A and B are shown apart, each in its own frame.
Chain A
Amino acid sequence: MQTFSNANSGAIVLSLAERIIENRAYLSEIDGKIGDGDHGVNMAKGFAMAADRLKDRETTLSEALDTLGTVLMTEIGGSMGPLYGVMFTEFAEKLDGVPAIDAATYSNMLHAGLEGIQSIGSAKVGDKTLIDTLVPAVEAFDGATANGKSFDEALDALVVAAEAGRDSTRDLVAKIGRASRLGERSLGVLDAGATSCAIILKELSLGARARIA
């Protein structure tokens, strides 16, 4: 059975932070089309803060995710702070104490993160939010493992579904958050949260995939 080691995988969170910081301007730009244009800036701030606390340390993936989640939850504010904060701390909790992470644990982790987000936010699939990326990604992962696919194949399926989910927000009318006041005018623009969520899920899953032994 394919697994990857929790120990020393904290570096995945560092590369996650790198991707978010790289995409700072892009995320703010798409956010600016239907929101206030600060998504990239705020995300980059939080992820950089977490990366700073993690750098030069060998940590487990669960420790690193917990650090990231805590920073986002307590020090960022906005709507993304609590939402991603909950997601990452839930991720961390499910991985905590698991030395070799397998597909089942990974799925538990994803579900816990999703439920965490749903416990504080009210968005559903189709509302043009990060849920449109997260839900299909989790479903694709579970679907792949249920069909007997290996862990790495399931991760690939997750990434594809996350990006398709992100792209689906282009054709959605925002139902929640600031962009919802726009109605039809939010059509044709990606949701910034769905986009950052796709970046996060992709980097996390590529990091896991690269470490599968």
Chain B
Amino acid sequence: MTSKTSSPRKGGANRSGATDASDAIPLRYGDDPYVWACWLYYEDGMTQGEIADAMGVSRATVNSYLADAREKGIVNISLEPARLASLTIAQELKRHFGLADCLVVPSDDNARPLIDRLGVAGAMALQKLMKSGDTLAVSWGRTVMSVGEHADVQALQDATVVQATGGTTAAFSYTPELCAASIARAIGARCVGITAPAIVKSRELRQMLLDEPLLQEQFATLAQANRILFGISSLRPNSTIHTSRFFESVSLQDYLAAGAVGVVAGRFIDERGRPVAGPLDDRTVGISLEMLRRIGTRIAVAGGFDKVPALLAALRGGYANVLITDAATGHGILRADGVTGLDTRISQKPKLVQAPSSYRTHVKKFLNNPNEVVEEMLDGVVRAHRDYIEPINGSHRALVAKSGPRPGKVGLVIGGGTGHEPCFLGYVGKGLADAVAVGNIFSSPPPDPIVQCAVAASGGEGVLFVYGNYAGDVMNFEMAAEIAEEKGIKVRTVLTTDDIASSPIEDREGRRGVAGNFFIFKIAGAACDRGLSLDACEAVTRKANLRTYTVGVALEPCSMPQTRRHNFEIGPDDMEIGMGIHGEPGVTRERIKPADDITDAIMDNIFKEMKATAGDRVAVLINSFGATPLMELYILYRRVAQRLAAKNIEIEANWIGHYCTSLDMVGASISILHLDQELTDLLHHPCETAFLRIN
């Protein structure tokens, strides 16, 4: 970065600003315009425009002074430790419990009671989460009431607030009616009550009440709720539950005896979040736990150390997906759930911490109709690769190689879900696969297109099915194999199981098939093309599978076109080793390391299983999961080549790029095929497909 050298004097002489503008830098700043600008900005609180006037420079210059001052370390911006801790805890809570969002108020602020601070935070959440047309269910309690007192959401249209439970005695000031009314007022919503007691005398009475048209109407509104705000009560002696006399103490004892640790919207849960049955269940008028869990946005607001067990139970039970709490409570929850090392993380953070990035919940994609992505992609594929593939009977879900199948040749059928492009359809063509069955995103094709592929690929000598070892694929391909056999086509199957991170060696058959598919398909296709028998094709394909070793590492999750969301989270400093190609969480999650360290860990694993000796030959595939660029793949390849060279293992061939992806996942996999003479010959056998051509 170039630093600015323009003189602050020019043009400044004639100006008269709010301060004692002068044509020279005041003595106290020496001759450093950066310090002067920073002082005016940070200490005197002037705007950049005012500073420009005072210093006699342009606004843009002031702006660059301020930016450069941070670069140069003249100004250090650090987050105050308590705030930093609360951000870290919020991030960890979100990650650990898979929450949609989490807000943690710092614990340092003793000036205001916790209830007030939680109320302010809850109000912020409402501001951010509530949209016009929403129906918000509201439970009751001191904290919920505090949210109502602090919230002020303007400009919402057609919002509805509905009581989540029936009413209670007005002996306290945070009844269900008052809470709902207060929140409704604060967000400008219509308020719908539940005009019955929260707990009635008998099951029969409850049923009679629920049969009343008025209550049915109110419950219908409750059933429409797409968001809910609720507190969480502990069952400790001093909790609201006891003091409010909401429940009779006799019944409470029953629930405590059954292991209840908390109450969510008037319902009892145990430490794992399971509903606890008891005498009040049939007498409670209000939202059930099941109904609650079906609501999209479930905002729990609660804090205080005594609530740790209840909060943990509610999080384990999945009742909340947005949590608002305080730092001490959040810390307690994480510790109670076995999260360690949090304290070091809080204190070890570098000084300059990025503020939490703006809440980006959706990933941008090129889409028309999200439900039609597969069809639209296939339309494009068929148009793009008409030289290699064509639809079978007009269906894009079953594609056959243009010059693949021929009489006397074993047919090779591959297939699987979409989202892995160029797998699988990119490997269909002469010398490789004869037909491919195409499923939905990350989801096996049904039997019908597989059967069509078998028929199209059959040249009278039998058909070989080769696909990844996933429960869904196995079921559908097995059904298809049965149907094909009924049609007189002999079918053999080889399941690919190259992902050595997915199961220990003792359970090799349980492993899943990933990017190493590429090698296994290639060998199988060459064997078929050479006119080998079905037995021989199957045998050499099995050998290729046994000698292919893959380990993948994901850095960021992929996002589904239908939801445009990540379907899981990987922490900001983490990586996931052994990540599946459908985003199945991997085997271990570790702190991210330098590329060479990651490559070494992968290669160490592969060397453990691959009994290669000096002079052996291998083929290497460095595969991107979708979003990792070639630049990084080459960095991985460099280290793989170094490691192999150190063992005097020769690289016979390599492929680097997108060969088996997982939508837009960031990450890569390394596959090694341990060659012998037969495999080497087959590897070099010519083929003509959209994504692999060897001649």
Contacts and interface: CB of A to CB of B under 8 A. Distances in A.
A187 B681 CA distance: 47
A42 B443 CA distance: 9
B585 A79 contact: no
B676 interface: no
Nearest to B317: A170
Given A35-B584, A37-B567, A30 B471 contact: no
A78 B374 CA distance: 14
Contacts of B586: 181
Contact of B446 (A28, A77, A170, A179): A77
A78 B472 contact: yes
A33 interface: yes
A152 B442 CA distance: 40
Contacts of B567: 28, 32, 36-37
A185 B583 contact: no
A30 to B, nearest CB: 7
A79 B471 contact: yes
A170 B443 contact: no
B475 A83 contact: yes
A156 B440 CA distance: 37
A84 to B, nearest CB: 11
A156 to B, nearest CB: 13
Nearest to B559: A37
A130 to B, nearest CB: 12
A33 B568 contact: yes
A21 B479 CA distance: 27
Interface in A91-123: 120-121
Contacts of A182: 584-585
B443 A78 contact: yes
B444 A36 contact: no
A23 B294 contact: yes
Contact of A78 (B273, B439, B583, B587): B439
Given A77-B476, A178-B471, A36 B442 contact: yes
A75 interface: yes
A38 B560 contact: yes
A77 B440 contact: yes
A121 B446 contact: no
A171 interface: yes
Contact of A190 (B275, B318, B587): B318
Using C-beta atoms within 8 Å of the partner chain, give the interface range for chain A: 35 or more
A177 B83 CA distance: 42
A81 interface: yes
**Residue among A28, A75, A185, A188 facing the most chain B CB atoms (10 A cut-off):** A188
Interface string B542-563: 0000000000000000001011
A32 B471 contact: no
Nearest to A82: B475
A171 B470 contact: no
B272 A181 contact: no
Contacts of A73: 446-447, 479
A167 interface: yes
Interface string A41-79: 110010000000000000000000000000001111111
B441 A38 contact: yes
A179 B584 contact: yes
A79 B444 contact: yes
A155 interface: no
Contacts of B371: 45
Nearest to B450: A77
A4 interface: no
A140 interface: no
Nearest to B560: A37
A78 B582 CA distance: 12
Nearest to A180: B510
B274 interface: yes
B444 A178 contact: no
Given A30-B318, A36-B583, A74 B275 contact: no
Contact of B585 (A34, A75, A77, A80): A34
B318 A178 contact: no
Contacts of A178: 470-471, 580, 582, 584
B478 interface: yes
A212 interface: no
Given A171-B274, A181-B502, A189-B318, 15 more contacts: A28-B567, A32-B567, A33-B98, A41-B560, A76-B446, A78-B439, A79-B470, A81-B472, A82-B447, A82-B472, A82-B479, A120-B475, A163-B290, A167-B275, A181-B586
Interface of B: 98, 272-275, 290, 293-294, 296, 316-318, 371, 417, 439-448, 470-472, 475-476, 478-479, 502-503, 512, 560, 562-563, 567-568, 578, 580, 582-587
